[in-house]
Structure 1
């Protein structure tokens, strides 16, 4: 049997693969899904919303491959409903669907008319841009069918221009456009592996594949794999082509792949096996492709015609010559009736010629061989014509770039004139702005200096006030110490001497008349001595000097509890920190004053005194359940004013929380590090 040359065989193989894409009809729609196989209740019933129109057009798309007549009626109905609603994008989509139906029926003029009309209805919004892109791709297919390869290329790049002009980032729209460009360059160039345009488009497709994998966009991946399989088949890497076909079919099961799409993938897979001279699996895939469509009217289905011609080639490889003739003959007749492109009839005539030659019917073989030669010569002319159109298209692109460059140069010159005219204004404005900026900086600098000076004055005043308070408290403590020593050493000693002398007189001169009087006088002297010692100890408690704040406060609370009806509780939290003796004395005086206020004014039954030592802080809390008090500083008595002054002298904070009838809580916080560093006098000075 005769064979094609490698060059012509590669050309026909690429053309066949391109036809598969065109035959898929709605192949370029990434959202094609199986819709419930039923018509709406009343096809002619007007739709009341855009949503209903969209549903009707979607249903029409699902019928386009298996029931073309029904699909066209649905498209016309949807178009009228969209016009009633003034839904221009819906009208454009309906006309686009009709164009696909007319293309499938080989009515190219009607298809072209619908496509051009649809362009006028595309709205200037996101959906309208998507419809316009699809229409440009559809126009490119129609012109390719008509042999207008320059127009086909023009509309493919027009679709790309729409994407770039509107900065469309939608992955599926980009997929449709770049896959369409790949189709064109695969079928117009001979040296596919090294073609710059193909490599550029493949770079975009690989980027889209990576993006679709990350986003798990199965529908986009299915389409991208379909075209990548075609690329690998064209460069005769059939294992890779089969891998991507198989992957695309598997993805299609999850997304309800359209029959046209699945048939195209199955036929593409069969082509790879035919290229490998392995007819058995090719027959298997071709039969699966034919089974996707109804058998009632096989002549009207392009996929079945294509599959039958390829089946004839497969049977020819298996030397089943009669079977090859039987299945190829009606397919060839159907292809002629539908005026399908030469590439199908070229392969069919080659199959028929080889089959008759093998059977010894040389006359018929010669007739088919002659027809095949005529078609082959015509295809070679087409190939040369494609190269001419390719050069013309590149010239148009270069001419367009030149025009854009000239416009850009004119714009640049105008901008230069404007810059020259406005240079002085800009310079003056910049100078004024600089002066204003410097003025603002100087003003802010002076303002900051004033704030810093005011802050320093406030700090000095505060330090002076604290020093005065500390000096006043130191004077008070010295006076208390002096009075305590005078009471203890003076009055205390005198009372002790009087008590001793009276005791001696009582023992020497006891009589019945004076015994009780002496005893009463001695008892009063004992009480006076005791009270004097307490007063002296309160004025200058020795235990504070010896044992520290906690034990001195505990002893003070114990004395209060024994001498009064107030039930007072003392608590210590933490371990005593490095607090100066002067600071301890001040805190002790504060606690004394607070407890004395409770005894004098609160009428409380219970009170709590708590000292809490933390790492850098001393907290003192005194609470009672008495009458409560006003908490404003204007209502402070002498006692509270004294307490506030002592707290301020320690750089501490005083918080009073009181509710009338519910008691009072006084909380004092003193920072130990600041206090121990700033306290000015020592108790040993007193």
Structure 2
């Protein structure tokens, strides 16, 4: 894995950064392709007397909205809302799903990612089970991944791209356009996640599938399909540093785009990508020329909101900076950076901050150089390249291109059969138990009448004690988690910024006072500062895992155990059963800490080689089992309720109104079983 360093030689620095650029162009490109020569507006729809009385007229209106979604996004949004209303009246679920998808795409084009995600998730609820519905599900997954990318949520972005691939393969969807859309989205993500993909077998599998689609498109003379394929192949060859081939495919894409009259978006993105290949080759005059041509493609009336406009300006400023024309680099980059920040586009701003930091440092304005260097470091930290790459590998392991679908289907079938058997047994058990239960209820009522007063008093005392204990535990746990968050923020915002500023100043001193005797020492100091910054950011993120807040307990536990398996000699597996659901925040966080403590105990004390973490989600109950084949726990420790964090774990379980059972013998391993009531915890959370 290659990471961006401040002190990389010029050529390596450019190669490392350029691998993301075709991905940026691809996102802009994908949005531009739906543009057509049609310019139908809201007034024309009304003038044409469009009446949405049946599914045919609804589909026709949706097709019209699709054709004007780029050129007239407000009119398209209005028309989607009309088709949505008509589809609901007719209970036409396909129309509802298509209308919500269209609204999500409109808000995505307007850079309103929250609304785009909201409408896309609603659309998923109305998709059925035929091929057309599964194609719509795949398209929605791709749209969700694209918007999560712009939000900086790379874990969710990776998840939905591979979910689209799984949907494609599991349902044998052979639509070439849909296959191209999904395969290219996977390739696009890998181009962004990797610094070097030359020999990556997973990417080669995707490229092979795209090559097969290219052969079919050539045979069918499908220019639109070929145009898309050439664009992504240009990005692939750029990433593996074959820029002549990259420019060849980009020029083919540009020729087809002119022929098909797709509008400004595709030519602008392709010209920008050609300029990037020239900048990577060190041909800065050609790079500047193509960047300017890309800017000229974008109409004046959309430049204020077009991502491509400030993308091209940021890379144009970077090219001028490499020519040592620092004044022009600053003049071009700063307005483009302001546009990017206004539209909350995070992933491109690191290039702008780096260009400004280098330019200001070159002209002697060290204060602004330090500010931009610090902002560059913060953006790099937010992108979390190393953790993102690790997460991509985790997602790839869960969604293998070839064999994973069959395994998942077999497991789901086995679960369904087991649930059916359990339901049948439960039916007979309930029938035989009713009579006995009625007898028990009668006896209980008699007993309660006799001892009512004594029991009521004892119950009140017991409840007061329990509430006091829970309140104390809640205060302790809340204080502990707040302290973790405070320490994480102070490490990240305080010491992280200080280290970045120190490194900038040491770098400036190094350039001013470099001699033969101290050059090695200065380089070693700079390297140590860089390593300290990276370690500090990792420590801050580990104190408060972001994936727990975003994706929930199951995903966070899987990622934690995967990291343990990679970093230790313990082979630990995770099993998730039942319908996974999001739990109240305090329950998810406390459960995650319990699992962390139990796994750490296995690593530190058990001397185990195998372990398993199992979570079973029931409708009103969560069951957690942690088992290992280690040394076991002695009876003295179990009876004393002390040692190896057992007391803390039991207190956390008690705080969640749960129960814990420990089965262990020396030399025979340990099994810890925990039951947590989901409904009870929700009620307690609402009360507090």
Partner of 2:390: 388
The answer as to 2:377 corresponding to 1:373 is yes
CA contact (8 A) 1:11 1:190 kept: yes
Q: CA deviation at 1:320?
A: 3.2
Q: Distance in 1 between matches of 2:410 and 2:55?
A: 44
Residue correspondence of structure 1 range 250-399 to structure 2 within 5 A: 250-296=255-301, 298-341=303-346, 343-379=347-383, 382-397=384-399
For residues 454-476 of structure 1, the C-alpha deviation after alignment (integer angstroms, 9 at most, x for no partner) is xxxxxxxxxxxxxxxxxxxxxxx
1:221 to 217, 220, 226: 226
2:36 to 33, 38, 56: 33
For residues 258-315 of structure 1, the C-alpha deviation after alignment (integer angstroms, 9 at most, x for no partner) is 4322322122112111112223332333233333333235231111111111121222
Q: Distance in 2 between matches of 1:338 and 1:144?
A: 14
Residue correspondence of structure 1 range 120-269 to structure 2 within 5 A: 120-269=125-274
Q: 1:306 is paired with a residue of what secondary structure?
A: helix
CA contact (8 A) 2:120 2:140 kept: yes
Partner of 1:573: none
2:96 to 91, 97, 103: 91
Q: CA deviation at 1:244?
A: 0.6
Residue correspondence of structure 1 range 359-508 to structure 2 within 5 A: 359-379=363-383, 382-397=384-399
1:76 to 70, 73, 81: 81
For residues 200-223 of structure 1, the C-alpha deviation after alignment (integer angstroms, 9 at most, x for no partner) is 001111111111111111111111
1:103 to 108, 118, 142: 108
Q: CA deviation at 1:232?
A: 0.7
Partner of 2:18: 13
Equivalent residues, number: 408
Q: 1:115 is paired with a residue of what secondary structure?
A: helix
Q: CA deviation at 1:406?
A: 5.9
Q: 2:339 is paired with a residue of what secondary structure?
A: helix
5+ unaligned residues in a row in structure 1: which ranges? 413-686
RMSD: 3.2
Q: Distance in 1 between matches of 2:198 and 2:137?
A: 32
Q: Distance in 1 between matches of 2:86 and 2:272?
A: 38
Identify if the C-alpha distance between structure 1 residues 402 and 134 changes in structure 2 by more than 3 Å, giving closer, same or farther: closer
Q: 2:299 is paired with a residue of what secondary structure?
A: coil
Q: Distance in 1 between matches of 2:408 and 2:45?
A: 54
Identify if the C-alpha distance between structure 1 residues 180 and 13 changes in structure 2 by more than 3 Å, giving closer, same or farther: same
For residues 181-208 of structure 1, the C-alpha deviation after alignment (integer angstroms, 9 at most, x for no partner) is 1112222234301111100001111111
Partner of 2:507: none
5+ unaligned residues in a row in structure 2: which ranges? 1-5, 418-688
Q: 1:169 is paired with a residue of what secondary structure?
A: coil
Q: CA deviation at 1:99?
A: 1.5
Q: CA deviation at 1:127?
A: 3.3
Q: Distance in 1 between matches of 2:91 and 2:217?
A: 35
CA contact (8 A) 1:23 1:104 kept: no
CA contact (8 A) 2:313 2:336 kept: yes
Q: CA deviation at 1:177?
A: 1.2
Q: Distance in 2 between matches of 1:123 and 1:403?
A: 20
Partner of 1:474: none
Partner of 1:559: none
Q: Distance in 2 between matches of 1:43 and 1:102?
A: 23
Partner of 1:519: none
Q: Distance in 2 between matches of 1:79 and 1:280?
A: 51
Q: CA deviation at 1:46?
A: 3.9
Residue correspondence of structure 1 range 522-561 to structure 2 within 5 A: none
Q: 2:37 is paired with a residue of what secondary structure?
A: coil
Q: Distance in 2 between matches of 1:111 and 1:391?
A: 27
Question: Which stretch shows the higher mean deviation, 167-176 or 242-251?
Answer: 167-176
Question: Which stretch shows the higher mean deviation, 288-297 or 228-237?
Answer: 288-297
For residues 72-105 of structure 1, the C-alpha deviation after alignment (integer angstroms, 9 at most, x for no partner) is 2233233334434544333322222221232344
CA contact (8 A) 1:79 1:94 kept: yes
Identify if the C-alpha distance between structure 1 residues 83 and 324 changes in structure 2 by more than 3 Å, giving closer, same or farther: same
Q: 1:291 is paired with a residue of what secondary structure?
A: helix
Q: Distance in 2 between matches of 1:50 and 1:259?
A: 33
For residues 473-523 of structure 1, the C-alpha deviation after alignment (integer angstroms, 9 at most, x for no partner) is xxxxxxxxxxxxxxxxxxxxxxxxxxxxxxxxxxxxxxxxxxxxxxxxxxx
Q: Distance in 1 between matches of 2:293 and 2:93?
A: 40
Identify if the C-alpha distance between structure 1 residues 227 and 359 changes in structure 2 by more than 3 Å, giving closer, same or farther: same
Choose 1 or 2 for highest CA Rg.
Answer: 1
Question: TM-score normalised to the size of structure 2?
Answer: 0.54
Q: Distance in 2 between matches of 1:311 and 1:209?
A: 32
Q: CA deviation at 1:113?
A: 1.1
CA contact (8 A) 1:43 1:74 kept: no
Residue correspondence of structure 1 range 620-639 to structure 2 within 5 A: none
Q: Distance in 1 between matches of 2:412 and 2:137?
A: 27
For residues 97-120 of structure 1, the C-alpha deviation after alignment (integer angstroms, 9 at most, x for no partner) is 221232344432211110111112
For residues 210-258 of structure 1, the C-alpha deviation after alignment (integer angstroms, 9 at most, x for no partner) is 1111111111111111110110111111111111111011112232324
